[in-house]
Structures are given as structure tokens and as C-alpha cells.
Amino acid sequence: MRIAIYGYGNLGRGVECAVRQAPDATLVGIFTRRSPASVHPYGDIPVYHIDELLKYKDAIDVLILCGGSATDLPEMTPALATDFNVVDSFDTHAAIPAHFDRVQAAAAASGHTALISAGWDPGMFSLNRLYASAILPDGKDYTFWGRGVSQGHSDAIRRIDGVKDARQYTVPIDSALEAVRSGENPELTTRQKHLRECYVVAEEGADLARIEQEIKTMPNYFADYDTSVTFITEEELRRDHSGIPHGGFVIRTGRTGWEGEHKHAIEYSLKLDSNPEFTASVLVAYARAVCRLAQKGDYGCKTVFDVPPALLSPLSAEELRATML
Amino acid sequence: MRIAIYGYGNLGRGVECAVRQAPDATLVGIFTRRSPASVHPYGDIPVYHIDELLKYKDAIDVLILCGGSATDLPEMTPALATDFNVVDSFDTHAAIPAHFDRVQAAAAASGHTALISAGWDPGMFSLNRLYASAILPDGKDYTFWGRGVSQGHSDAIRRIDGVKDARQYTVPIDSALEAVRSGENPELTTRQKHLRECYVVAEEGADLARIEQEIKTMPNYFADYDTSVTFITEEELRRDHSGIPHGGFVIRTGRTGWEGEHKHAIEYSLKLDSNPEFTASVLVAYARAVCRLAQKGDYGCKTVFDVPPALLSPLSAEELRATML
């Protein structure tokens, strides 16, 4: 399959790496809104301005969209699904149904296959919620995130007066995880599920007490959580907090038996050194599926829920049955 | 969907319970090789002799086959796929390709849909091996089983002279799990991955030292493992070891990044109070998918790898996108 990358930030760079690991994929090029000369891929890959994209229409089997969910993808995915098979990582959960409808209209009308909301949440976590709830209908599931960097919360801290830089970690609370695993079906408040750890570089002479207070009382972002604030130097931030790790847990517990006498727990967890590179690896696997669906004429908008798992693997159905079943 | 159960042992009883939890399923009846009068379901469900099965052909959407993999299913599944949509839990991994071919021939020729090898291994564990390897191609996966009862190993102990009853637990070794999770990609021997714990009721006056020695040196079953043997009374066996718990772990670790500089771990685990009831719950979810595939005219033999996840859920595609993605 011939893949092209649309947008070259952290996610686009991750896709470049992931395509190299796919035995059946080649990277046609990187398309950017910036000046192509200012973009430096890891490998020897051509970089084009997005204005040139349509010229390469016949050279691209799947276009992987590496824009952001806030403003890029809501416009980008329906627009590009008119001319390309596409995969995106749209992750604004509440807006997925509307995004689906717009992409579906574009892809179905033009005869393309578009897969939206791939990644790990939405994505692999969604799949695990679905499988587990289908198997254990008399049960309850819980999703925990972290330990990992939240870009949105880090940005919120940076906007505070006197803050030079910041990194925020979302941390699942062990006692809550244990209560869930035990099958007690606890009702957990926001505060009981996750902690927020903030590492902040303040400007010289800034009022640290005021910054800490502003963080801890910030509505939506921090006020509902137990939040710790640690002031560190710029050098410490660079040395100890330059990675983008993340991960989390999907746990469903449920009961079976004539009287519900037997308990079961299904747990899926991820521990990721690089959030964007893992997300990119999911996008490339789903690009393979999109390519195969489009070849069969199965057009329109899809999600991870619609894709037979076998389509993600470079192995044939026979090989999969012989080696993985 | 109208379901019937074929075979009423532990698995068949589990299916009876699981169908009750499915909002869209009704149980038409139980078919048995025994005398119907000798079979006592939990609920008020008709029991028929298997000779009567064809009379109910039009009343059954999916037949769930609850026979054993050693001798029942290799004959049963292809034979019944000629007249019914079927689901089985065929779990002899090495024989799956041959089983698939025979079921495929029968189902495709007669216009039925047959799903084989549903359950948790093969089944949910297989799915997790496939998804994880498609996402992290530069990696390695490991499957651990337990802590749980192995019926085959328990039976092997019971065949020893002087043994009245026995229960064998397969136990994954914590240090091996930790080495795998760390991403070290260890090469693990059989002995390093699992322990075997045996609880044995001996006949009065039996030579306990000889029994213990026979167990620990039994080829294939125990000789390659560290095995513990504990003699207990019949009453203790009944009191402490009457359940059929099981479970296990599928863990894949892998690397991403231009130089493979980032590590990731994907872990799926099950902790089951009742192995047959959980397996039965998976069978009922896949019966729903089989029913839907057959309605679309998608006939032939399928495995969990071929089924779009959405087909397992009683919720519509719209509901799934709005609530689980």
C-alpha cells in the first residue's frame, strides 16, 4: 500500500516511523501547510505543499491525516475523503457522531473509504469497551488514563501569568484500580479516579504561591482533582520531562451463572513511552484495513468497530489461523 | 435471535445462563444425546433428543455446539453446518486449519454461517495477539495461562494408581510476567513460565511418595515443570477446589521510533471464576454476529478474526459510536 502523510507534527513523524515497520507499505510523501523546505523528515522522503496534493491522487492508496481534532480534522477529513481513502485520529469523543456523518456523506458519495477516530482512546480502548460489554452484559466498565502527559492540561498551566513552561501528568489512583478489579462496581468520583501532577517552571521573581493557587482552583482542568504542584528549573524540565509517555486501563467486571454467582474481570492496559508514536502505529495498521476495504468496494465512513481484525495484519487469513488463533 | 444448545455439560449450562443475559435472544431448546428426561436445565426450557433436531430447523437461527474438541466437534460442526448456522469452541490449536477447511466446505455449500474456535483461547486471547502484533510489528508476544484449573492435567493425575480424585492448577510465574512486561523480550523455557500445583486425594493406605513421584515425572504433563503435590482429604477437595476458575495474560511489548528508541507494552488479562460460563458468554456474543452475517448472506466458515466487533453487541452502530467509541 502506498501511504502519504498529511501534516508533519509529532503524529506525522510517528507515522513516518511506523510505515518503515510495515512490510507492505511505502511512503509516497509528506504534505504540509508549511514551506516544504522547512520540513525535515527522518528519512529521505519527498515533502510537498498541500496545494500539490491532487496531482498525486493516483499515486496514493491511503492518506493518513495528522492534524488536530480541535480545528483541523473536522474540516480536513470530510474535504479529503472526496478524493482519497483516509484515516484520522479524531478524538473529541462527544463530537464523533457529527464527524462521522459528515465524513460518511463525503466518502460514500465519492466512492472512498474513510476510517475515523483510530488511536488508543478512541481506538483500542473503545474496542475493549465494546468486546468486554458484549461478553459480560451484566457488568460495568471503567477507563483510567495514565500515568501520562496531558497536552491540554500542560497548555492550561502555561497560560498562567508567571509560568514559563509546564508539564502535567494524569495519574490513575491505585486504590481505585484495586476497587474496580475486585468487582465491587464502585461509584467513583473524578477525584477518586485520577491525580494531577504538575511540574512548573516559573519566571524569575514570580509569586509561586499564587501560581500554585491558580492551578489548583482552575475550573474543569484541576479544581475537581487532587493536584500536586512542583516547581522545577528549566533544565530539570528538559532532563526529566521531555518525553510524551501515556497509557491507561480499561477494566470490565461482570457476573455470570444462573444466580450471578461467578465474577469475572477483563482488563486491557497500555504503557506507552511515546503517545504519538503508538497512535501513529495504530493509524498505519488501520490504513492497511482501509486499503483492503476500498479494494473490495466497501466505501463510506468506518470506525474501529466496523473493521474485521484480520484486515489489520499483513499476514493472510490462512497464516493468521495457523499462527495466532 | 433464536438460539438452541447442542450438548448440555458445563459449557451448555453456561450458554443457558448467558442467553438469559442477552436482551435480544431466546432459547428455543436444548438438544442432547442422552435421554431428554435425564437432563435438568436451570430454567423452564424444552429438552429434545438430537434425533429430533431437523424438525426444528426453521425455529433456530443459531445452534451453539457444546461438545468437546477431542472427538465431538471435528465431526459435529461440519455435519451440523449443513443445516444450521453454528458456533463452536473448537480449541485444539494445531488442528484449527483442518477443522476450518471442513466446516468451510459444509457451510459454504449449504449457505450457512459457521463460526469456529470462539472462547478465550482460542478467542479473546487470539484477538489480542492479532491486534497487538498488527500495531507493534517490531515486538514479541507472550501468553500465560492461569491461575486456573486444567481439566486435562487433573484427569492425568486421576489415572494414577492409588489416586481417588485430584485438581491441578496452572500458575503463571510472577518473575516471568515481570520480565516480559519490562520489554526485555526474554527467552522463557516451559519451566520458567508456569508452575503446576496439584491437590490430590489418595486412597487409604496408598503409597504417597510413589504417587508424588509418578506425578512429577509424568512426561508432557508435568516433567517439564516445577510441580507441587499436596495431599488433601476428599472433604477439603470439595470445600476448597470445587470451582473451575481460570484466566491468563497476553502481553506484547514492542518498539517504535526512528531508532526503536521508545518501548510500549500492551497487556490483556482475564480473571475468571468460571471458565465454562465465560466461554459460554463469548459463544453467545458470537452467535449474535453469526445471525447477522447469515442475514446478510455472508456464508461460510469464520473465526473471531473475520468478525467486525460491532456485530457482537446488541447496540446499533449509532449507539456504539455515541457511547463506546
- Is the minimum CB–CB distance between A38 and chain B shorter than 8 Å? no
Sorting pLDDT into bands at 50, 70 and 90, what band is B318? very high
Flag if A321 and B264 touch (Cβ within 8 Å). Answer: no
Cell of A37: 523546505
In B107-206 the beta strands, taken as DSSP E runs, fall at 113-115, 139-145, 148-149, 163-172, 194-202
**B233 burial type by CB count under 10 A (0-12 exposed, 13-18 middle, 19+ buried):** exposed
Q: Specify the pLDDT at position B1.
A: 96
Q: Specify the pLDDT at position B35.
A: 97
**Average of per-residue pLDDT across B251-258:** 98
Q: What is the pLDDT of residues A150-180, one digit of tens each?
A: 988 999 999 999 999 999 999 999 999 999 9
Chain B residue with CA closest to A244: the answer is: B262
Q: How far apart are CA A185 and CA A306, in angstroms?
A: 29
Q: Specify the pLDDT at position A148.
A: 97
- The CA distance from A22 to the nearest CA of chain B, in Å, is 7
Flag if B306 and A306 touch (Cβ within 8 Å). Answer: no
Contact residues, chain A, for B265 at CB < 8 Å: 269-272
Nearest to B130 among A267, A272, A324 (CB): A324
- Is the minimum CB–CB distance between A52 and chain B shorter than 8 Å? no
**Average of per-residue pLDDT across A122-143:** 98
- The CA distance from A161 to the nearest CA of chain B, in Å, is 34
Flag if A281 and B129 touch (Cβ within 8 Å). Answer: no
Chain B residue with CA closest to A279: the answer is: B135
Flag if B274 and A258 touch (Cβ within 8 Å). Answer: no
Q: Best interface-test mutation with A: which of B305, B306, B307, B318 has the largest number of A CBs within 10 A?
A: B305
Q: What are phi and psi of B115, to 5 degrees?
A: -110, 120
Q: What is the pLDDT of residues B51-86, one digit of tens each?
A: 999 999 999 999 999 999 999 999 999 999 999 999
Q: Which of B266, B268, B262, B304 is nearest to B287 (CA)?
A: B304
Q: Is this prediction's pTM over 0.90? A: yes
Sorting pLDDT into bands at 50, 70 and 90, what band is B127? very high
Q: How far apart are CA A270 and CA B266, in angstroms?
A: 5
CA B198 to chain centroid, in Å, comes to 22
- The CA distance from B210 to the nearest CA of chain A, in Å, is 37
Sorting pLDDT into bands at 50, 70 and 90, what band is B280? very high
Q: What is the pLDDT of residues A277-308, one digit of tens each?
A: 999 999 999 999 999 999 999 999 999 999 99
β-strands B86-87, B113-115 pairing? parallel
Sorting pLDDT into bands at 50, 70 and 90, what band is A77? very high
Chain A residue with CA closest to B319: the answer is: A97
Residues 6+ apart with CB under 8 A from B19: B3, B25, B26, B27, B284
- Is the minimum CB–CB distance between B105 and chain A shorter than 8 Å? no
Q: Specify the pLDDT at position A11.
A: 97
- Is the minimum CB–CB distance between A228 and chain B shorter than 8 Å? no
Q: Specify the pLDDT at position A280.
A: 98
**Average of per-residue pLDDT across A76-87:** 98
Mean pLDDT of chain A: 97
**Average of per-residue pLDDT across B12-28:** 98
Q: Specify the pLDDT at position B47.
A: 98
Chain B residue with CA closest to A119: the answer is: B135
β-strands B226-231, B113-115 pairing? unpaired
B94-98 long-range contacts (CB < 8 A, ≥24 apart) are: B95/B69, B96/A321, B96/A322, B96/A325, B96/B122, B96/B303, B97/A318, B97/A321, B97/A322
Q: Percent of chain B scored above 70 by pLDDT?
A: 100
Nearest to B126 among A265, A271, A324 (CB): A324
**Average of per-residue pLDDT across B129-154:** 96
Sorting pLDDT into bands at 50, 70 and 90, what band is A252? very high
Q: How far apart are CA A32 and CA B32, in angstroms?
A: 65
Q: Percent of chain B scored above 90 by pLDDT?
A: 98
In chain A the beta strands, taken as DSSP E runs, fall at 2-6, 26-32, 47-49, 62-65, 86-87, 113-115, 139-145, 148-149, 163-172, 194-202, 226-231, 246-256, 262-272, 300-302
Q: What is the pLDDT of residues A211-225, one digit of tens each?
A: 999 999 999 899 999
Cell of B244: 473451575
Other C-beta atoms closer than 10 Å to the C-beta of B13 total 22
Q: Specify the pLDDT at position B11.
A: 97
Contact B309, A129 (CB under 8 A): no
In A246-317 the beta strands, taken as DSSP E runs, fall at 246-256, 262-272, 300-302
Contact residues, chain A, for B309 at CB < 8 Å: 127, 130-131, 134, 304-307, 309
Q: Specify the pLDDT at position B155.
A: 93
Q: How far apart are CA A77 and CA A91, in angstroms?
A: 13
Nearest to A267 among B133, B263, B269 (CB): B269
- Is the minimum CB–CB distance between B319 and chain A shorter than 8 Å? no
DSSP-based helix, strand, coil % in chain B, nearest 5: 40, 25, 30
The sign one gets for the Cα dihedral A45, A31, B139, A148 is positive
Q: Specify the pLDDT at position A261.
A: 97
Chain A residue with CA closest to B307: the answer is: A308
